[in-house]
Chains A and B, each alone.
Chain A
Amino acid sequence: MASIGSNSSIQEAEVNVTHADIVVAIAAYNDVRTVGAVARAVRDGLAKFFGSHEARILLADAGSTDGTLEAARCAVGDMGLIELTYQRPAAMSGVLYHGHPGRAEALRAIVQTAHRLNAKACALVDASLHSAAPAWIERLIAPVLTDGFDYVSPYYVRHAHEGLITKGIVYPMFRALYGVRLRQPAAQEFGCSARLVSHYLEQNFWDRDQTSVGVDLWLAVAAATGGFGLCEAALGVRQPASRETPADLSTTLAQIVGALFMDLEDRVDVWQRTRGSAAVPIVGAGPEIGPDGASLNLERLIESFRLGYRELREIWTWVLPPRTIVDLRKLSEAPLERFQFDDRLWAGIIYDFAFGYNLRVMPPDHLLRSLTPLYTGWMASFILQVRNATSSQVEERVEQVCLAFEAQKRYLISRWRWPERLR
């Protein structure tokens, strides 16, 4: 029997529901501007595609004070909501790159409720979106109900310069480690099966520090490492409405990459045995989008990298081997037109940071933030290479990065197996 953990406490405003075939949950926090549209999209999607099933909409609200709850109730009308309240952290320390404080608690409450209702399929949609559509519900739920998949990961269309942390770090490393080509594995929307819901409840990450930051990624990792059937669903464009002042790049990077690294120790018996990677089926097709014309100041990015090399090189020597430091010096001296971050060098750097993080060679936040200039350097190099590229050309470029991560995985394993401290 699945454990629900000792820290969990859910209260449901509507307690008389005992079963549902489908559960679609909306995670909300002060989203009065968008929650109504999201709730209507969910309601309409369920009615249109799953009318013959018993379906319920959950609202996991993190204590909104702007009328979010009322807007959601109004939007779903007669269908009603199961409103979840749950134990939330009293305060948050800093801005989250996505989600909201208590997101992990919200997800845990959702998963527990789906489990209690014996739902065959469960999906999660964030309330802060402008772009949620009824078709999303079909694409997140149907693969579970009709095709036997356990985890449906969204695939959003993005411009070349969007989601670069995912393109340059999260996807390549996730794929190399766990052998599954989920291109956006830390997404806030997903669909999952009853089997996977049970598996989630047995995971030990719910009570970790920083769970709200990492939980989306860890759910994908748990699915990828647990022998479940995975697929992607093309959902088109994701347009979030910002809840908070956006986190700065350094914070965002530290949170995302920290979540990725934090899971490695617990999954070591899986990722060290996984070799190669396999594509997953994709449901539907997203629209082709061309270059968006947005221009980033590449000189500034490169200068940030050079400044980092000058100021942070001493910190890097705690995790990066001398040969890498030499390569970075050469790169810092390269002019813009010849500024190219070698993929294998980049993969090696990320692996070295992952290793240093897990070996606790210095406080994790210091280490992760020192990655920022390296990332800006890689970002500049990547954008230089894809600035006029089509979507498929960008995909090809990302594929090359991924292959470098796969090729360098042996390096990570060898360092992991027999750590050699550099200082």
Chain B
Amino acid sequence: MIWNGSARDPLWYKDAIIYEVPVKSFMDGNADGVGDFLGLSEKLDYLQDLGVTCIWLLPFFPSPLKDDGYDIADYRSIHASYGTLEDLKSFLTAAHARRLQVVIELVLNHTSDQHPWFQRARLAPPNSPERDYYVWSDTDQRYAAARTIFVDTERSNWAWDPVAQAYYWHRFFQHQPDLNYDNPAVVKEMLEILDFWLELGVDGFRLDAVPYLVEREGTNCENLPETHAIIKAVRRHIEDTATSRMLLAEANQWPADVRAYFGDSDECHMAYHFPLMPRIFMALHLEDRQPIVEIMEQTPTIPEDCQWALFLRNHDELTLEMVTDDERDYMYLAYSADPQARLNVGIRRRLAPLVGNDRRRIELLTGLLFSFPGTPVIYYGDEIGMGDNLYLGDRNGVRTPMQWTGDRNGGFSRADPARLYSPIIMDPVYGYQAVSVEAQESDTASLLYWMRNMIRLRKQFKVFGRGTMEFLQPTNQKVLAYIRRYRDDVILCAVNLSRSVQPVELDLSAFAGLVPVEMLGYTEFPPIGTAPYFLTLGPYGFYWFELQHSRS
């Protein structure tokens, strides 16, 4: 039995524009104060008009919600607050009818401690099949070389379970015990869960925390060959049972280490480029292209059918794990003057507040996101410049209700405001009365209109998702210039990272005779000759040019 995916092109993810959305935060369809699938389905027209092509849903499974749903208690059902399985099926059908693909979370590494597997395991005798679903130890000294990830809350990767009278392994919160992938029964369970969602028609899976599946003594327990073997098994299973599906690795690692998650096109189809994101912000603040160029030069080539997932912001903190100590210090100083903004090893802010609500800087960053080699991921609300709330704990400040209108609860819910799962943003700059979809839909100069146009434009050129990239080396370090190529398309992108007007001379002699046509307005510029090509870029300005053959 082969389950066909909704996309005709098996490489659909290479041209996709992904929209990341927590179900609870988007739209409340039943007035209980929590977003749900009914509400999400109501807003599919909005997403279609925005132009995104793929919806990535954060975890929506039954869960104690101690880690916003990444602590799953049942992989085959829906959290009651978000609706029913029928609601999800209706949502999937409606999304596919609009040619929107849907990606969900597959949290392989761990479950909630409330999952029946864990409850069964802790009650079962040592070395029993039930106990063997998780990683147990009589001591908390094993795997000592593995770092603690949530340094703000966890002291160790081991936690004592008084019922089992043993320590269990957890790379994240202690209420999230790691599954034991040395046990074939666990792998089998996970493949069956995969089948459940494949059959329902889900188009892709984000493999959360994928580097940590297997543990080995004497290692840092990350990126181990045994972990890659598990991913290969998952991929093989998908290839055998379904078409047009995608696996996206969440591996917050250096590019060279992430490369392994693509395998030889036999592991994940996509992986996030984590180190690029902080360097884009750093380059903007430094007004110097060097951090971006450096990390891109360290980025290995990946198989033809694989793809980087690029993002500016997401539901987590702006992670600074993949930067040097000096770079981290710089980023903290540049982007989190308020210590409240810091969490773990990162900065918990949305896009607009990070850049001081400067529209030009938001546009420039989005221009980079859309023109770099990979598939862009937009975090819900960033298309209207939503703000955050630093006074909510953990990362909840960037997970507030979507701001639809200037009405009660921002149009998110008809519930009593006190029932909302989270307070809505209400400050005078980013509050729902100042920033909302409704207001921006009535303003053709709004960020929302601009985003729609940019998404529309990007979708017209496969070169952005599929093409190669070469950096130019102008002497002005404040200008980032690069060439994207795919088939007959040659695109020149020039970006001014600074707050002031910048001149730049580009060596385009390799393209002598071609005519740059500015892509947004389809305006012809003077033809390229052998002399350096001179451009002037406004503050935080950027140009995209198609290099066309002369009409004559």
Contacts and interface: CB of A to CB of B under 8 A. Distances in A.
Contacts of A413: 522
A269 B462 contact: yes
A417 B489 CA distance: 16
15 contacts: A3-B8, A268-B460, A269-B460, A269-B461, A272-B460, A275-B551, A417-B460, A417-B519, A417-B521, A417-B522, A418-B453, A418-B520, A419-B452, A419-B453, A420-B444
Interface in A161-176: none
A3 B461 CA distance: 26
A410 interface: yes
Contacts of A419: 452-453, 456
A204 B456 CA distance: 20
B326 interface: no
A414 interface: yes
A109 B345 CA distance: 61
A48 interface: no
Contacts of B462: 269
Contacts of A421: 444, 449
B44 to A, nearest CB: 15
A414 B521 CA distance: 5
Interface string B504-542: 000000000000000111110000000000000000000
Interface of A: 3, 204, 268-269, 272-273, 275, 360, 410, 413-414, 416-421
A266 to B, nearest CB: 10
Contact of B520 (A269, A410, A417): A417
Nearest to A275: B551
A323 to B, nearest CB: 17
Contact of B457 (A3, A269, A417, A420): A417
Contact of A418 (B8, B461, B521): B521
B458 to A, nearest CB: 11
Nearest to B449: A421
B488 interface: yes
Contacts, number: 33
Contacts of B49: 360
Given A275-B551, A360-B49, 13 more contacts: A204-B8, A269-B460, A273-B488, A273-B489, A414-B522, A414-B523, A417-B520, A417-B522, A418-B457, A418-B520, A419-B453, A419-B456, A421-B444
A421 B461 CA distance: 22
A184 B100 CA distance: 35
B457 to A, nearest CB: 6
A7 to B, nearest CB: 13
Pairs A-B, 10 closest by C-beta atoms: A414-B522, A418-B520, A413-B522, A421-B444, A268-B460, A418-B453, A414-B521, A417-B522, A417-B457, A417-B520
Contacts of A410: 522
Nearest to A414: B522
Nearest to B520: A418
A386 to B, nearest CB: 30
A276 to B, nearest CB: 8
A272 B456 CA distance: 14
B550 to A, nearest CB: 10
B36 to A, nearest CB: 27
B541 to A, nearest CB: 15
Contacts of B519: 417
Interface in B435-457: 444, 449, 452-453, 456-457
Contacts of B444: 420-421
B343 to A, nearest CB: 38
A421 B460 CA distance: 19
Nearest to A422: B444
B17 to A, nearest CB: 15
A419 B8 CA distance: 28
Nearest to A418: B520
Contacts of A360: 49
A360 B456 CA distance: 14
B55 to A, nearest CB: 20
A32 B489 CA distance: 53
Q: Considering residues B449, B456, B488, B520, which has the most beta carbons from chain A within 10 angstroms of its beta carbon?
A: B456
Contacts of A268: 460
A121 B213 CA distance: 56
A93 to B, nearest CB: 19
Contacts of B520: 417-418
Contacts of B551: 275
A212 B452 CA distance: 32
A218 to B, nearest CB: 16
A351 to B, nearest CB: 13
Contacts of A204: 8
Interface string B336-375: 0000000000000000000000000000000000000000
A364 to B, nearest CB: 15
A273 B488 CA distance: 9
A350 B294 CA distance: 48
Nearest to A413: B522
Contacts of B452: 419
Nearest to B463: A269
Contacts of B489: 273
B213 to A, nearest CB: 36
A275 B548 CA distance: 10
B409 to A, nearest CB: 28
A108 to B, nearest CB: 16
A272 B444 CA distance: 25
A285 to B, nearest CB: 33
Contacts of B461: 269
A127 B489 CA distance: 45
A406 to B, nearest CB: 11
Nearest to A412: B522
Contacts of B460: 268-269, 272, 416-417
A268 B444 CA distance: 24
A120 B462 CA distance: 33
Nearest to A6: B4
Nearest to B461: A269
A204 B462 CA distance: 19
A413 B461 CA distance: 13
A421 B523 CA distance: 19
Interface in B470-527: 488-489, 519-523
Nearest to A420: B444
A419 B455 CA distance: 11
A417 B545 CA distance: 12
Interface string B1-18: 000000010000000000
A354 to B, nearest CB: 15
A416 B452 CA distance: 12
B547 to A, nearest CB: 12
Contacts of B456: 419
Contacts of B453: 418-419
Nearest to B456: A419
A275 B444 CA distance: 31
B8 to A, nearest CB: 6
A240 B457 CA distance: 44
Contacts of A275: 551
A98 to B, nearest CB: 28
Nearest to B99: A204
Interface string B103-147: 000000000000000000000000000000000000000000000
Nearest to B462: A269
Contacts of B523: 414
Q: Considering residues A3, A360, A410, A418, which has the most beta carbons from chain B within 10 angstroms of its beta carbon?
A: A418
A20 to B, nearest CB: 29
A408 to B, nearest CB: 12
A84 to B, nearest CB: 25
B97 to A, nearest CB: 11
A223 B551 CA distance: 25
A154 B456 CA distance: 36
A133 B460 CA distance: 44
A64 to B, nearest CB: 33
B388 to A, nearest CB: 30
Nearest to A203: B8
Nearest to A204: B8
A420 B521 CA distance: 11
